[in-house]
Structure 1
Amino acid sequence: MSSREEILNSIRGIQKENKALPDIPNFHLEGDLVALFKSAIEANKGEILSKKEFVDWISSANFQHIISCSEAFHTYATQELPDDAHQLDHLELAILEVQFGVAENGAMWLDDSQLPHRALPFITEHLVLILSEENLVSNMHQAYDRIGSDHSGFGLFIAGPSKTADIEQSLVIGAHGAKSLRVVLL
């Protein structure tokens, strides 16, 4: 028997005591989830709109290339979703529905069921996410419980417009994706 096999056999022979996993405390936030969510979105440089405020905003904006993946907001689309994501290069506004939002940090969950093209939230200049108030959870623990064992090919949390900062603490909005994020809270 080689010294390598002796070492491995010695390791395999070690008896390990089974230990219970620690209990995870309930990190539930106290207070109004809608108010906490709004505060988190604003801290992330996003904006919260009512449906009326959205209608006023989009009618005053001069977007020519709008894609909506939301049936309720499809009338605002100026073009249909192309088959090829490479044809999204001039997209000014994407309107997407999210599954749920997280009050503690303003993150919103999207997966393949809302994203016909994974590039949509990144390639558009401006992003509008549609969220129903009853689909708010308190914290990320509840968010991951809600995702559960769903197995989609792709999913992400979005919590604000794209941003980056350098060592000199100069913040740039829209550096890697959408320049603005608006959340229509229904």
Structure 2
Amino acid sequence: MSSRDSILAAVARNQPERIPLPEIPAFFTEEADVLEKFTTVAVSIGSRVFRVQSLEEVKQVLLEEHSGARRIVSAFPEFAAVAETTIAPGIDPHTLADLDLAVLPAQLGVAENGALWVTDAQLPLRVLPFICQHLALVVPQKNIVPLMQQAYEVIGAQEYGFGTFVAGPSKTADIEQSLVLGAHGARTLSVFLLE
């Protein structure tokens, strides 16, 4: 037996006794409570949250909020009149350096921390949420879960090549201890809770 196998066998023999995971109480039971908590937390970390009835309403809000946007990319075909809606998978990400606004779907949101889950199934190109100046994510209201545990239950049963949680606009306070928005990604995040 090699020393590696000997060490691994010793570790395996000395494992602590298994105990069941604790039950996590449901902090929010009503959908309205979950949406209110999500909104409160998301706003507190710098996001702007809008409750909307349709993608047309999303488009109206974004065109008003970002009237000066020169280049807009969207994963929604409904935005074809105002945005690029087809991005070739092999495109050089450097060609998106001038991207003002990206409008993308999110699979789910988490009320506990205001985070939104996005995978390569929702993204025409992985770099989009990070390279744009302004990011808008659209998530169905029914897909907001109370806690990260519920989010992990949902995403743990799926297959995807890439996934990320996005929570608020990009920010850092490393530079001379002053808050800088957009240092590592989008300067603003607009979240649309779609009925």
Same fold (TM over 0.5): yes
Q: Which amino acid aligns with 1:107?
A: A
Q: Alpha carbons of 1:90 and 1:139: their partners in 2 closer, same or farther (altered >3 Å)?
A: same
> How far, CA to CA, are the matches of 1:17 and 1:57 in structure 2?
54
Q: Which amino acid aligns with 1:90?
A: D
| Residue in structure 2 matched with residue 71 of structure 1 by the alignment | 77
Task: Map 1:81-100 onto structure 2 (within 5 A).
Answer: 81-82=87-88, 83-84=90-91, 85-100=93-108
CA contact (8 A) 1:102 1:143 kept: yes
Structure 2, unpaired ranges of 5+ = none
Deviation at 1:152, TM superposition (A): 1.2
Of 136, 139, 144 in structure 2, the residue corresponding to residue 131 of structure 1 is 139
Q: Which amino acid aligns with 1:24?
A: P
> How far, CA to CA, are the matches of 2:78 and 2:27 in structure 1?
31
Q: Alpha carbons of 1:53 and 1:16: their partners in 2 closer, same or farther (altered >3 Å)?
A: closer
Q: Alpha carbons of 1:79 and 1:149: their partners in 2 closer, same or farther (altered >3 Å)?
A: closer
How many equivalent residue pairs? 183
What per-residue deviation string (whole Å, max 9, x for no partner) do you get for residues 22-70 of structure 1?
Answer: 2232243226001000011111101012344761441351212000002
Of 163, 166, 179 in structure 1, the residue corresponding to residue 187 of structure 2 is 179
CA contact (8 A) 1:162 1:178 kept: yes
> How far, CA to CA, are the matches of 2:124 and 2:27 in structure 1?
33
Q: Secondary structure at the match of 2:189?
A: strand
* 1:121 is aligned to 2:129: yes
Deviation at 1:74, TM superposition (A): 4.3
* 1:48 is aligned to 2:49: yes
RMSD value over aligned CA atoms?
Answer: 3.0
CA contact (8 A) 2:107 2:118 kept: yes
Q: Which amino acid aligns with 2:189?
A: L
Q: Secondary structure at the match of 2:43?
A: helix
Structure 1, unpaired ranges of 5+ = none
> How far, CA to CA, are the matches of 1:74 and 1:134 in structure 2?
26
User: Higher Cα Rg: structure 1 or 2?
Assistant: 1
* 1:141 is aligned to 2:133: no
Q: Alpha carbons of 1:24 and 1:122: their partners in 2 closer, same or farther (altered >3 Å)?
A: same
> How far, CA to CA, are the matches of 2:84 and 2:13 in structure 1?
66
| Residue in structure 1 matched with residue 110 of structure 2 by the alignment | 102
> How far, CA to CA, are the matches of 1:176 and 1:16 in structure 2?
43
Q: Alpha carbons of 1:73 and 1:168: their partners in 2 closer, same or farther (altered >3 Å)?
A: same
> How far, CA to CA, are the matches of 1:167 and 1:96 in structure 2?
30
Deviation at 1:131, TM superposition (A): 1.0
| Residue in structure 1 matched with residue 171 of structure 2 by the alignment | 163
Which deviates further from its counterpart, 145-154 or 100-109?
A: 145-154
What per-residue deviation string (whole Å, max 9, x for no partner) do you get for residues 9-29 of structure 1?
Answer: 9x55x8568833322322432
Deviation at 1:158, TM superposition (A): 0.2
TM-score (normalizing by structure 2)? 0.81
Task: Report sequence identity in percent.
Answer: 39
CA contact (8 A) 1:54 1:184 kept: no
Q: Secondary structure at the match of 1:35?
A: helix
